[in-house]
Structure 1
Amino acid sequence: MASEKRTDATDLGVESNQDLRHLENVDIHDKSLNAGAMEATAQEHSVGFIQGFKTYRKAAMWSFLISMTVIMEGYDVTLLGSFYGYPSFREKYGKVINEENGYQISSTWQQRFNCLAAVANIVGALLNGWATARWGHRKVLIGSLFWLSAFIFVVFFAPNIQVLLVGQTLCNVPWGVFATTGPSYAAEVTPLAIRGYMTSYINLCWVIGQFISALVLKSLVNNPTHWGYKIPFALQWIWPIPLGLAAFFAPESPWFLVRQGRLEEAKHSLKRLSEPEHNINYDNAVALMVHTNKIEIEETAGVNIWDVFKGTNLRRTEVACMSFMSQITNGGALCYSGSFFFQQIGNGLPPNTSYAIALGGKGLAFICTIISWAFIHKIGRRRIWLYGFGTLACILWIVGFLALAPKQTLSLSWAQAILCVVWLGVYSASVGPIVYTIVAEIGSTRLRTQTVVLARSVYYTGNIIFGGVINPKMMAPDDWNLKGKAALFWSSLATVTFIWGYFRLPETKDRTFGEMDIMFHNRVSARKTAKYVIPEEDFNRTGDADPVIRDEKTATS
């Protein structure tokens, strides 16, 4: 997408009324196609942050609305994990472990819930990759919202923990769809100038959902009746209808329409996503999409999930998968368990206090996610991730060492709890939002949804292993009962992940999708991507030349 301020309507960028059929079967060497694509690329780079929001405020609005499905996912996914420390919920679905701990949800049942939820998330994500390639984001999203509305009934009326497990598993299928639809749609409908903000906004949606969940639980934690946990479940019915209406009226992704060969519809979608009075050259914008699509066709024969492992897509897939995986290996399963963890560390904090701290942590996360937008504007994706992830690893090491103290006092419990809240703030200002931006940008345009789907599936697989099996055993009073010492495991894992990021995570800030194609084709080192200059002759490459690594000092623009 591109916008420009020009006054000469004959040749200076206003919308053309010619049809786009001439672009359907052109060769990648076609001069008209290449000229339009290069002009659209230059236009994208010329649009600043403020102008981007003015010209594409409709795109930002639709991205804003569609990404709100992640608010629902953030609320729902964290709800059950927070219930593990909830008195009325434990009395209904748990059992007495011993006189000291009273009713508890055993580590075995925690593992079942976490593992089956992650498996269902993977199923949903894979279904989304297959279905979106055929029917687009809107139809798949509407169908998923209908699915969720139906199976919330199972959760709400569950008479025992077995039925609750079935209901939660079925609900996790559409949640897998929501987690992968938001980044893909945001990346495809917003221009370069605001793309980073709208993709990182997805993490803010996640935090908002968690904050609402924490607020509801804090207000009901002292309710001894079954409504103490039924009301939070019932609130899930608020979301599907308004979000379904938003998806129904939203424009489809123009990139999806170009991949389907529906160029006129793609042009119409661009009109709905922008302000026509800003003199947008829609033909050039479509030409850039067609040009990028044709480059990628030469590296992938058709579109299926296995294409993400072919050619340069293999490195893109590695970056996307490891980026999402870093949201597991950074200790999120420990720190995001919040209220339950606070009740286990040291001498333990009472339920009312632990849920209050958790609520404060979610509020801090909300503020820090907004602050992260200032970082995105000034700092590259790679630097934000490295600085943020390094800080998270250090915090985990401190929490772990505090837990090694021979005498665990209430002061040490508070110190570990506060450090977890600080962890949430740092995560929300850096790794949390920037990972969504990286994953949304890194995949090729033809395989973006498939790349996001696979990366999210790897995330869910990691969640099964670390969050679903290992962390419950480390934390449960009836199992390993490591308490704060579990942070030593997570700090070691985070350190290894940080080393990977230093050597393998590239910079994608201020790069169009076409420019990223060239950078990956030329196998530019991750540490050189920030300053790499794209050679002009590479813009017309066919994809069959030998890949060459060009030094930024000798490359010409």
Structure 2
Amino acid sequence: MSTNSKNIHTADEKLSKSPSSQDAEPEINALLPDYGKRSYLKVGFLVRLNLLMFVVSLASTNTGYDGSLLNSFQSMPNWRQAMHHNGKEPKGAILGALSNGATFGTILACLCAAQLSDYFGRRHCITGGNIIMIIGVAIQSAAQSYGMFLGGRIILGFGNCLATTSGPTLISELSYPAHRQVVTAFYNTCWYLGAVIAAWVSYGTRNVQGNWCWRIPSICQAAMPVLQTAFIYFVPESPRWLVSKGRAQEARAALLKYHGNNNEAIAGPLVDFEMAEISAAIEAEQIANKYSYLDFFKTPANRKRLFLLAWVGTSMQLSGNGLVSYYLNLVLNSIGITSTDQQLVVNGGLMIYNCGIAMFVAFIVDRFRRRTLFLTSYSMMLFFYIIWTILSAINQKKNFENKALGQGVLAMIFFYYLSYDIGLNGLPFLYYTEILPFTLRAKGINIQNWVQQLWNIYNGFVNPVAMDAIQWKYYIVYCCIIAVELIGCYFTFVETSGKTLEEVAVVFGEEPISMDSLKLANERKLSTDHVEDASLDA
């Protein structure tokens, strides 16, 4: 009998002793070796795994860098002069097109990103995306005209979509079970890491003569894709992807190494449980569907998943944050903060603040229920946005002469982002990966990416025009939108905390992966091993 067959027998014995449950979390917790609290900081092989997860999270820094970079550029007179189109500075729809250049590229990539990730694997897709981003950055940085800059941004957005579709998927499928919630939620906090770097690089080059004041920050946008590409192949491929491609032995070896330090005696039962769960889930899902986007419409459960993807993706971009993320200078102008230095300092400080808040929330996300965090976030956003709107109205009526009112608006921006970061930064990617089964996971991430980009087009073209036309009154629109988002969250969001990725199906009214199905998967695998052993003996 092969070693793998013996390991499966060990897992069978462990499973047979475990009480049957619809929730697999107690089962897998019983198999986790006790490394004590804060094991992600103290246990060597887990520290290495989580550092590799950080390498994957660098995909999110590219989006954050881009958003902060456009904010900084709009505060630079040299960039505005270089981007003249038909003799005019970029404003309104022209500014919207530049800001949305990456969005256009992302929408194009959404047509193929999930398929590429499922076919070539998560790591290859991230690498391909990074190479395309580097090409886009080169064109953007060397731009001699509005059109060339826009073209570079479209290419950059295409590559970024490939990387960000595969990044959170790989993290959720590879992270250590006890750390999955925190590590997955941490992924999108790196958006702010990229934003911090862009904001302060731009601040450092603000007094450089000529176009180099904006070309240098643009060139630096290639740093994270280069860094991630250099280290991504130290990260193992997704075990779930390997199993789906018939490479179960490679998947088990990766899990044993990164979840058990190659210690079969201690981690063997855990790895066998994970392998059985993955195999059973993938087999059931492959029988149930044919890897099509149409699967999202075939069952009530999948339609509910599609709705949640669209709702959360919409909330991430249409809760008023787009007004600040890409047009902070317009907001600051509206409260009397107009100098380049002041605006760059505010942008940099806001990004550092957001980065700290988002990372703190990611580290405690496993202590709270998902619905609790979402509802808290929506409620606080609505409260602070209403105050922001009122203060802006009073400030405009007084011709922005009252500095205290302007400072009050700025304080509301910071409080608003505290609220946003609680529920709409890292948490959505954890939620996406939990509500989606394996065969729809990459496609689902791709759909929410597509939804976000559609709303980015709205943000890009409508926000600057509306801010120019009606100023503070435009905030009322977002107060109404956030209120609707809060009501939708209360009545439709399902709770996913306390379950493994394969067991979340039960909250959608589907049959969970039971212990019997896991044992059946083991028996089928065991039969396959016997056939392989017999053929080798022959």
TM-score, with length taken from structure 2: 0.85
Counterpart residue number, 2:388: 399
- Does the CA contact (< 8 Å) of 1:85 and 1:339 recur in 2? no
Give 3-state SS (helix, strand or coil) of 1:67's partner: helix
- Does the CA contact (< 8 Å) of 1:120 and 1:170 recur in 2? yes
Give 3-state SS (helix, strand or coil) of 2:449's partner: helix
Which residue type is aligned with residue 398 of structure 2? K
Which residue type is aligned with residue 44 of structure 1? I
Q: Deviation digits for residues 78-125 of structure 1, max 9, x if unmatched?
A: 31243123222112213799xxxxx74221212222444323112223
Deviates more, 1:268-277 or 1:351-360: 268-277
Counterpart residue number, 1:12: none
Counterpart residue number, 2:445: 452
1:325 aligns with 2:314: yes
1:183, distance to aligned residue in structure 2 (A)? 1.3
Count the aligned residue pairs.
Answer: 500
Which residue type is aligned with residue 435 of structure 1? P
- Of 438, 462, 465, the residue aligned with 1:470 is 462
Which residue type is aligned with residue 64 of structure 1? F
1:431, distance to aligned residue in structure 2 (A)? 2.3
- Of 322, 329, 333, the residue aligned with 1:340 is 329
Counterpart residue number, 2:29: 45
d(CA) in 1 for partners of 2:15, 2:307: 30
Give 3-state SS (helix, strand or coil) of 2:393's partner: coil
Counterpart residue number, 2:428: 435
Return closer, same or farther for 1:197/1:174 CA change in 2, 3 Å cut-off: same
Q: Deviation digits for residues 536-555 of structure 1, max 9, x if unmatched?
A: 7997899xxxxxxxxxxxxx
1:34, distance to aligned residue in structure 2 (A)? 7.8
1:507 aligns with 2:499: no
d(CA) in 2 for partners of 1:360, 1:434: 23
1:485, distance to aligned residue in structure 2 (A)? 2.9
Higher normalized helix content (fraction of residues) = 2
Q: Deviation digits for residues 378-420 of structure 1, max 9, x if unmatched?
A: 2112111110121112111111122222223233222212211
Deviates more, 1:59-68 or 1:494-503: 59-68
- Does the CA contact (< 8 Å) of 2:280 and 2:517 recur in 1? no
Alignment of 1:206-225 (within 5 A): 206-225=191-210
1:331, distance to aligned residue in structure 2 (A)? 0.8
Deviates more, 1:420-429 or 1:251-260: 420-429
Which residue type is aligned with residue 407 of structure 1? K
Return closer, same or farther for 1:244/1:374 CA change in 2, 3 Å cut-off: closer
Alignment of 1:503-542 (within 5 A): 503-522=491-510
Counterpart residue number, 2:379: 390
Return closer, same or farther for 1:420/1:434 CA change in 2, 3 Å cut-off: same
Counterpart residue number, 1:67: 57
d(CA) in 2 for partners of 1:541, 1:122: 42
Which residue type is aligned with residue 462 of structure 2? I
Counterpart residue number, 2:341: 352
Counterpart residue number, 1:421: 414
1:363 aligns with 2:356: no
d(CA) in 1 for partners of 2:16, 2:139: 56
- Does the CA contact (< 8 Å) of 2:57 and 2:187 recur in 1? yes
d(CA) in 1 for partners of 2:98, 2:449: 18
Give 3-state SS (helix, strand or coil) of 1:432's partner: coil
- Of 115, 125, 128, the residue aligned with 1:130 is 115
1:143, distance to aligned residue in structure 2 (A)? 1.4
Q: Deviation digits for residues 140-198 of structure 1, max 9, x if unmatched?
A: 11112122222222111111111111111111101112222221111100133211111
- Does the CA contact (< 8 Å) of 2:282 and 2:439 recur in 1? yes
Q: Deviation digits for residues 344-367 of structure 1, max 9, x if unmatched?
A: 213443221122111111111121
d(CA) in 2 for partners of 1:51, 1:318: 36
Alignment of 1:466-505 (within 5 A): 467-476=459-468, 480=469, 482-505=470-493
Counterpart residue number, 2:534: none
Which residue type is aligned with residue 309 of structure 2? A
1:259, distance to aligned residue in structure 2 (A)? 1.4
Give 3-state SS (helix, strand or coil) of 2:326's partner: coil
1:155 aligns with 2:140: yes
Return closer, same or farther for 1:198/1:425 CA change in 2, 3 Å cut-off: same
1:22, distance to aligned residue in structure 2 (A)? 9.2
Counterpart residue number, 1:378: 367
1:257, distance to aligned residue in structure 2 (A)? 1.0
Which residue type is aligned with residue 341 of structure 2? N
- Does the CA contact (< 8 Å) of 1:292 and 1:513 recur in 2? no
- Does the CA contact (< 8 Å) of 1:349 and 1:413 recur in 2? no
d(CA) in 1 for partners of 2:376, 2:386: 16
Return closer, same or farther for 1:491/1:375 CA change in 2, 3 Å cut-off: farther
Return closer, same or farther for 1:184/1:239 CA change in 2, 3 Å cut-off: same
- Does the CA contact (< 8 Å) of 2:76 and 2:340 recur in 1? yes
1:296, distance to aligned residue in structure 2 (A)? 2.1
d(CA) in 1 for partners of 2:53, 2:197: 21
- Does the CA contact (< 8 Å) of 1:89 and 1:226 recur in 2? yes
Give 3-state SS (helix, strand or coil) of 1:222's partner: coil
1:514, distance to aligned residue in structure 2 (A)? 2.5
1:230 aligns with 2:215: yes
Give 3-state SS (helix, strand or coil) of 2:107's partner: helix
Alignment of 1:273-284 (within 5 A): 273-274=258-259, 275-277=261-263, 278-281=266-269, 282-284=271-273
- Does the CA contact (< 8 Å) of 1:323 and 1:438 recur in 2? no
Deviates more, 1:250-259 or 1:372-381: 372-381
Which residue type is aligned with residue 50 of structure 1? K
1:483, distance to aligned residue in structure 2 (A)? 2.9
Return closer, same or farther for 1:259/1:50 CA change in 2, 3 Å cut-off: farther
1:130, distance to aligned residue in structure 2 (A)? 0.7
- Does the CA contact (< 8 Å) of 2:67 and 2:326 recur in 1? no
Return closer, same or farther for 1:242/1:120 CA change in 2, 3 Å cut-off: same
d(CA) in 2 for partners of 1:57, 1:246: 16
d(CA) in 2 for partners of 1:127, 1:306: 15
1:205, distance to aligned residue in structure 2 (A)? 0.7
Return closer, same or farther for 1:62/1:215 CA change in 2, 3 Å cut-off: same
Which residue type is aligned with residue 70 of structure 1? S
d(CA) in 1 for partners of 2:297, 2:76: 44
Return closer, same or farther for 1:128/1:58 CA change in 2, 3 Å cut-off: farther
d(CA) in 1 for partners of 2:363, 2:13: 39
1:290, distance to aligned residue in structure 2 (A)? 0.8
1:342, distance to aligned residue in structure 2 (A)? 3.7
* Structure 1 residue runs without a partner (length 5+): 1-15, 24-30, 98-102, 524-533, 543-557
d(CA) in 1 for partners of 2:15, 2:110: 35
d(CA) in 1 for partners of 2:390, 2:66: 33
d(CA) in 2 for partners of 1:266, 1:195: 17
Return closer, same or farther for 1:471/1:289 CA change in 2, 3 Å cut-off: same
Give 3-state SS (helix, strand or coil) of 1:257's partner: helix
Deviates more, 1:203-212 or 1:336-345: 336-345
d(CA) in 2 for partners of 1:436, 1:79: 23
Counterpart residue number, 1:26: none
- Does the CA contact (< 8 Å) of 1:342 and 1:349 recur in 2? no
Deviates more, 1:445-454 or 1:419-428: 419-428
1:408 aligns with 2:390: no
Return closer, same or farther for 1:538/1:264 CA change in 2, 3 Å cut-off: closer
Counterpart residue number, 2:530: none
Q: Deviation digits for residues 208-262 of structure 1, max 9, x if unmatched?
A: 0001111112222333421110100111232333311222232100011111222
d(CA) in 1 for partners of 2:85, 2:291: 49
* Structure 2 residue runs without a partner (length 5+): 521-538
